[in-house]
Amino acid sequence: LKPDFKEAHFNLAYVLVELKKPEDAIKEFEIVLKLDPSYADAYSQIGKMYMQLKDYDKASQWYDKALAK
């Protein structure tokens, strides 16, 4: 996995979502955002992961960030 290839990190995050590993998926989505802070879908996916973790405050914050992009 190339460290600066955001699409690979995004795809890996989706695999982790399917494997029911939201914490690991969040880490990968955050790498995507470090590489491209304008990647709105990564923000919303992190919000979705926090919803699964029942951390609704964090989920709301990430959804707000997605809407701002």
**pLDDT, tens only, 9-20:** 999 999 999 999
Tokens at 41, concatenated: 């879908």
Residue 50 near residue 58, CB atoms below 8 Å = yes
- Over residues 55-68, the pLDDT tens digits come to 999 999 999 999 99
What's the pTM value of the predicted model, to 2 decimals? 0.92
Give residue 53's identity as a one-letter amino acid code. Answer: L
Q: What is the per-residue pLDDT for 50?
A: 98
- Over residues 19-68, the pLDDT tens digits come to 999 999 999 999 999 999 999 999 999 999 999 999 999 999 999 999 99
Q: How far apart are CA 43 and CA 34, in angstroms?
A: 11
Q: CA end-to-end span of the chain, whole Å? A: 27
With 0-12 / 13-18 / 19 or more C-beta atoms within 10 angstroms meaning exposed / middle / buried, residue 38 is exposed
